[in-house]
Amino acid sequence: MVSFRARAGVLLAGLWLFFMAMGGTAEAHFASTGFSDITVKDKSMEYNVFLLEKELLEALPEIDTDGNGRISTDELSGGNAVLTEMAHDRLIVTGDGKIGAGVVLAAKQAEKAKMPMIEIDINYDFGEPVDRYMVQYNFYDGTNPDHRSYATIRMGQQSIVQVINSSNNILQMEGYHGSDANRPDADDAAQGDAQPSPITAASSWTSVLKEYVTMGMEHIWSGADHMLFLCGLILASGTSGWTMLKLVSAFTVGHSITLVLSALDLASLSPLIVEPLIALSIVFIAFETMFRKKFPKLQGKQIAVTVMFGMVHGFGFAEILHGTMAGNIALPLFSFNLGVEIGQLVVLAIVIPILWAIRKLMKQSRHSWWTYATSSIVGLMGLYWLIERLVSEITM
């Protein structure tokens, strides 16, 4: 019969391989992200599309004329022809059923949502008033099936955000005929305060709720670092369910605070700082679990430390929300945070029974060995990510 120690060794090796396999996704939370700033006018539409440099290179490799894997200012300024061709291929804009011919006005390097991006400004002029616009967005392919674009649609003084992805890539908007629509022949009624809804029922509150809840859950599940920190909290709680509840609640309070503050642009922290700190939080929680008795000053401060690290993780959660909510923040913010909490509960529901079942099988004398072994795995993975992120920042 295979000894328990051997079976435990196999289990630990499996856990190690699992986290190693997930290591590559530890900071790739929706790595394929774009933005669409759409201004709807009476006879035209202004479309400013923002893409990461690597994604523009994937969609349009010929713009890199010198073949160095980067897009220079000169290549952007001289690439209007290929950019216009790409816009015709990847963006289909119609006005009252007529396909618009997009003209690329400018392409430049810009910052959007605290990220360096390429901005392409496109104008669609239909020459006559448009009552209904439709946009089909196709800036994704087989290499980026998870690509999302956060479309901020503006009509006069109102705006709304719609998330575009591979399963929801068509926007339908009413034409805008308000007082600032540059229509000299508009009557007084058309120039009043009444304005049409920017988009159709496809962007109802239920679809926004569903989209952002899904984003929150996927953000947790695609982030091995966040999940590993949760595992570290479970290990740090020992055999006390009450302690585990307090620690997980402290983590939730912490990340909820900074998620709200960061999404509202009331506080922010650069990803260059946040990502290493998230890895450091994993190392710390593993270290604290293994050597708690040797550092008595740490005892009694678990809750405060967990809240602090939860706030760091909250900045990481908020990265995906920067620049995505326009002036309508309540529902997306609530929905995203709800998705994070649901995703977190699912992780706990899977991990807790497994860890507690293994602890139950062990003799009391082996609890210490189990704590050291599992916490060592957590700490090593955190250390690996910490070094990887620091090195990548130095070599940028």
Outline where DSSP puts E strands in the chain.
Answer: 33-40, 44-51, 91-95, 98-99, 103-112, 115-125, 132-137, 148-155, 158-164, 170-174
Best CA proximity match to 163, nearest among 39, 326, 52, 341: 326
Segment 106-128 shows an average pLDDT of 89
Q: Which residue has the higher pLDDT, 183 or 383?
A: 383
Digit-coded pLDDT (tens) for 289-335: 888 777 666 666 888 889 999 999 888 877 666 655 545 567 777 88
Strands (E), 53-126: 91-95, 98-99, 103-112, 115-125
Between residues 74 and 201, which one has the greater pLDDT? 74
Task: Give tens-digit pLDDT for 206-258.
Answer: 777 777 888 788 778 777 788 888 888 888 887 677 888 888 899 999 998 98
Select from 150, 190, 170, 389 the least CA-distant residue to 273. 389
For residue 346, what are the contacts with CB-CB under 8 A and spacing of at least 6? Answer: 217, 221
| % of the chain with per-residue pLDDT over 70 | 73
Please report, in angstroms and rounded to a whole number, the separation of the first and last CA atoms in the chain.
53
Whether the pTM exceeds 0.95: the reply is no
Does residue 390 carry a pLDDT above 80? yes
pLDDT tens across 187-204, in order?
443 444 444 455 543 455
Q: Average pLDDT over the chain, rounded to whole?
A: 77
Q: What is the pLDDT of residue 10?
A: 44
Confidence category of residue 129, pLDDT binned at 50, 70, 90: very high
- Cα-to-chain-centroid distance, residue 66: 32
User: Mean pLDDT over residues 80-102, rounded?
Assistant: 90
Per-residue pLDDT at 22 exceeds 50: no
Is residue 100 packed enough to be buried (19+ CB in 10 Å), middle (13-18) or exposed (0-12)?
A: buried
Strands of the sheet with 132-137, listed across from one edge = 98-99, 91-95, 132-137, 170-174
Please choose, from the candidates 273, 270, 326, the residue with its C-alpha nearest in 3D space to the C-alpha of residue 111.
Answer: 270
Please give the residue that has the higher pLDDT: either 208 or 185.
208
DSSP string for residues in 306-333: HHHHHHHHHHHHHGGGTTS-TT--HHHH
CB proximity list for 327: less than 8 A, separation 6 or greater: 159
